[in-house]
Amino acid sequence: MARAASSAKSASRGKGGGARAGSRSKGGGKTAAARPNIPDFTRDEELRAYHDMLLIRRFEEKAGQMYGMGLIGGFCHLYIGQEAVVTGVTMAADPADASITSYRDHGHMLAVGIDPKGVMAELTGRRDGLSKGKGGSMHMFSLEKRFYGGNGIVGAQVSLGTGIAFAARYRGDDTVTLTYFGDGASNQGQVYESFNMAKLWNLPVVYIIENNKYAMGTSLERSSAQTDLSQRGASFNIPGEQVDGMDVRHVRDAAQRAIAHARSGKGPYILEMLTYRYRGHSMSDPAKYRSKDEVQSMRSEHDPIEQVKARILKNGFASDAELKEIEKQIRAQVTEAADFASVSPEPDPSELWTDVVVEGA
């Protein structure tokens, strides 16, 4: 994937840069005073964040269109609104780190650098898709990028991600596993079974709870006795922070801290990302459980991409015309992916019978 003007993979192992306004550390017996300063990005970092988030936004919009045209079937869960979470975390991670998430996974794949063509062709169920068309929207993987899905069962990826971290510790390979899940999954029993073992064995895993406030149609308040999800590791002595998940700077800052903690052998860390999805739970969800005003105010006041764009312009990191050029490149890339996914042939019927088991075993 072509990235915009940035090669900055800054401070992937370093301690988080000083300021952490908008994030508070709790749990695990730790407390941290709120720090007023916002951790500023460099020009390259701002441009990378802008590019990566915009790519996810435009890709998801296109996926929504293609779903409407009947090119994508089944379930399709869009990431629009939450782009800062995976973008900021990825900026803090090392390319060798593993990641795993739920079925709302398209953005995670783009963020770690998986070719949009392969993602879109999987959405359309074609042979050039990441899973040869056999996985679909919810089940995509890339061993090359150490992306372990794409998991359709709510909460299952939390145990699986903990297991990937177990393998890292077993091998002593110094990688961290970034395990993403939603506020809905945070009520699943296996999440706590995994928290317990992750801390018991001090596994290098960062749990990133993408709290978009609604588990499908059920608000956090209606489903959770303790709505501060960063506290959910407290009884396992896992530190946690609530983070402004709409501001990519806060996300990266907190993620640097969490990843450094996990990599240093201190065990798991929880980041509760306060975020918001603009679309329904899936394409077939009209999202009537929340008001249009609520959605509109998030979009107009907290949009992660608009925040970055405003800073770039204000700081003179790029001109309006230069940003438009980035946008144009992204639109071309997304259109190319969509065209590719539309013309890629369906899988050969013989593929029905392949990959059930490893043959010749």
Partner 1 sequence: MPTDILMPALSPTMEEGTLAKWLVREGDKVAPGDVICEIETDKATMEVEAVDEGTIGKIVVDAGSENVAVNSTIAILLEEGEDPSSIGETTSAHASPAPGPSAAPVDEQAAVAPAAPVTEGPGGAPVMEVAQDPDLPEDVEFVDMSVRQALNEAMSEEMRADPDVFLMGEEVAQYQGAYKVSQGMLEEFGDKRVLDTPITEHGFTGIGVGAAFAGLKPIVEFMTFNFAMQAIDQIINSAAKQLYMSGGQVAAPIVFRGANGPASRVAAQHSQDFTAWYSHVPGLTVIAPYSAADAKGLLKAAIRSPNPVVFLENELLYGVSFPVPRMDDFVLPIGRARIVRPGRDVTIVSFSMGMKYATEATERLVAEGVDVELIDLRTIRPMDSATIVESVKKTGRCVVVEEGWPQGSVGSEVSARIMEQAFDYLDAPVMRITGKDVPMPYAANLEKLALPNADEVIAAVNAVTYRT
Find the binder of partner 1 among 1, 19, 197, 295 (CB under 8 A): 197
Binding-site string for partner 1 from residue 81 to residue 120, where x marks contact by CB under 8 A and - marks none: -----------------x-x--------------------
Nearest-CA neighbor of 271 among 12, 69, 23, 3?
A: 23
Find the binder of partner 1 among 9, 13, 35, 139 (CB under 8 A): 139
Alpha helices by DSSP H, 134-182: 156-171
Any contact of residue 149 with partner 1 (CB under 8 A)?
yes
Any contact of residue 315 with partner 1 (CB under 8 A)?
no
* CA distance linking residue 62 with residue 335, whole number of Å: 8
| Contact (Cβ atoms closer than 8 angstroms) between residue 23 and residue 265 | no
Q: What is the DSSP string of 226-239?
A: ---GGGGGGGGT--
* CA distance linking residue 96 with residue 221, whole number of Å: 37
| Closer residue to partner 1 (CB): 154 or 305 | 154
Cβ of residue 229: shortest distance to partner 1, in angstroms? 18
Residue type, 9: K
User: Which of the residues 326 through 355 are near partner 1 (CB under 8 A)?
Assistant: 354-355
Any contact of residue 270 with partner 1 (CB under 8 A)?
no
Any contact of residue 200 with partner 1 (CB under 8 A)?
yes
Structure tokens at 65: 């269109």
| Closer residue to partner 1 (CB): 100 or 215 | 100
Any contact of residue 22 with partner 1 (CB under 8 A)?
no
Rounded to 10°, the helix 248-261/43-68 angle is 100
User: Which of the residues 159 through 188 are near partner 1 (CB under 8 A)?
Assistant: 159-168, 170-171
| Closer residue to partner 1 (CB): 64 or 113 | 113
Nearest-CA neighbor of 83 among 278, 354, 346?
A: 278
Find the binder of partner 1 among 141, 181, 269, 278 (CB under 8 A): 141
Any contact of residue 134 with partner 1 (CB under 8 A)?
yes
| Contact (Cβ atoms closer than 8 angstroms) between residue 59 and residue 337 | yes
Any contact of residue 190 with partner 1 (CB under 8 A)?
yes
Nearest-CA neighbor of 261 among 99, 30, 9?
A: 30
Return all residues near 174 (Cβ < 8 A) that are at least 6 apart.
96, 168, 263
* CA distance linking residue 292 with residue 311, whole number of Å: 27
| Closer residue to partner 1 (CB): 262 or 274 | 262
| Closer residue to partner 1 (CB): 138 or 271 | 138
Residues forming the site for partner 1 (CB under 8 A):
98, 100, 129-135, 139-143, 148-153, 156, 158-168, 170-171, 189-190, 192-194, 196-197, 200, 354-358, 361
